[in-house]
Amino acid sequence: MKCYSKFVLIAMLASAAALFTGVLTRRANAEMQQPKAAPAAQAQEPEETPYDDVEYNAYMAASQEPDLAKRGQALLDFIQKYPKSALMPNVNSDYPRLLRECSTAKKYELLQSLAEKWLKLHPNDVFTIGYIAEAANNLGNYDKCAECMEEIYKQQPSPTLAKDIFQVYQKTKNLAKQIDWADKLYKMPEYDADFMLRFYFVSKYAEAKNNPKAAEYAQLTLKSADLVKQPNAETQEQLRKVREVCYLVIGTNFMELDKFADAIPAFQKANKQDRSGETYRLIAQCQENLKQVDEAMISYAEAEIVAGEKQETEVASKSKARMEKLYKAMHNDNTTGINKVYTKAKEELAAEK
């Protein structure tokens, strides 16, 4: 997934940094241990190391411990006991390498524990924070993962990382954070045409039956969809479906506000994306509320015809029943001549194609 790309990058950077540090450390140690040339008139004396055998053996035992958990604790113990040791550059190389090994071995609980301990000693280190984020993500603690990524974003902001943070928050129930990061993305030109970024909230609010907010995001989605350039066939189909839903959401919201004249054009635009018997039925209901009975009967007939084509049995049945009731009310309680309504409906449907 895309949101994992940051973790991979952080791990690679950490690996490179650790390797570079290790090379310098080994070189420094080698130079430290090289005997210096003594003046010709003086006898050579062995150079003393800045640490004794006990300290050196403690470091070697810690750094060569095969058990990852024990190695981490041993290195931390060494730091606590010898905080000013000349071997600290080696430890500062070994510990990040240990975190990388935990990541590679997918020992995420251990990785998070060891990384959090290291972070206390090295606050704000992006590599360590990145490992905590990776561990939290794989352990399903998405709030923690997102919080860590936010910390990284403060130091190294980028549009890609902002999108990754939003995607992680999508896995949580923290709607406020989702909205917060979505609003940040809306201001970035890179995501002007990312219609699915807006459509996410259309779906979320529609599911919560909050039609006003769903309609608000539907308008944003449609504007974003119009900015998509040269969409391929798959994207074109996705755009068609998204537009249809957005127009339906907008039309439904207008109906709930008793703005029936505004709802009709929205439903008509939805039908241009994909005809639906239910959508024609909604148009008919709006026309009824506007006292446009003749138009409503034709729309009910269209709903019945389209629903029949798409095997929407219930919609077809309800539309037929309502159309006949309206017709009878205007024709002495009989259906004589009702075929004229169906003829008109078929003509209008043919003209729309």
What is the tens place of the pLDDT at every residue in 5-50? 344 344 433 343 333 334 333 333 333 333 344 444 444 555 667 8
Domain spans of the chain?
1-31+53-183
Task: Work out the average pLDDT over 46-60.
Answer: 86
Contact indicator for 111, 135 with CB cutoff of 8 Å? yes
Number of neighbours of residue 226 by Cβ within 10 angstroms: 11
Q: Please state the rounded mean pLDDT for residues 53-64.
A: 96
Question: What is the per-residue pLDDT for 79?
Answer: 97
User: Do 46 and 35 meet the contact criterion of CB atoms below 8 Å apart?
Assistant: yes
CB 172 within 8 A of CB 143: yes
Element (H, E) at 201: helix 195-207
Query: What whole-number distance in Å separates Cα of residue 244 and Cα of residue 150?
Result: 35
What mean pLDDT is predicted for residues 125-135? Answer: 98
Sign of the C-alpha dihedral computed for residues 189, 190, 193 and 199 taken in this order: negative
Cβ atoms 335, 326 nearer than 8 A: no
Class level of CATH domain 1-31+53-183: mainly alpha
Residue 153, Cα to own-chain centre: how many angstroms?
A: 15
Q: What is the pLDDT of residue 49?
A: 74
Q: What is the DSSP letter of 37?
A: P
The tokens of 294 are what? Answer: 């003749």
* Residue range 272-278: mean pLDDT, rounded: 96
In DSSP notation, 71-121 reads HHHHHHHHHHH-TT-TTHHHHHHHHHHHHHHHHHTT-HHHHHHHHHHHHHH
Q: Tell me: pLDDT of 319 over 90.
A: yes
CB atoms within 10 A of CB 109: 12
Q: What is the pLDDT of residue 1?
A: 36
What is the mean pLDDT of the segment spanning 49-57?
A: 90
Q: What is the pLDDT of residues 66-119, one digit of tens each?
A: 999 999 999 999 999 999 999 999 999 999 999 999 999 999 999 999 999 999
Token digits of residue 172:
């949580």
Closest of 58, 60, 90, 93 to residue 77, by C-alpha: 58
What separation in angstroms does the CA of 183 have from each of 138, 186, 262?
26, 5, 28
Long-range contacts of 295-298 (CB under 8 A, 24+ apart): 296/326, 297/323, 297/326, 297/327, 297/341, 298/341, 298/344, 298/345, 298/348
Residue 178: the pLDDT is 97
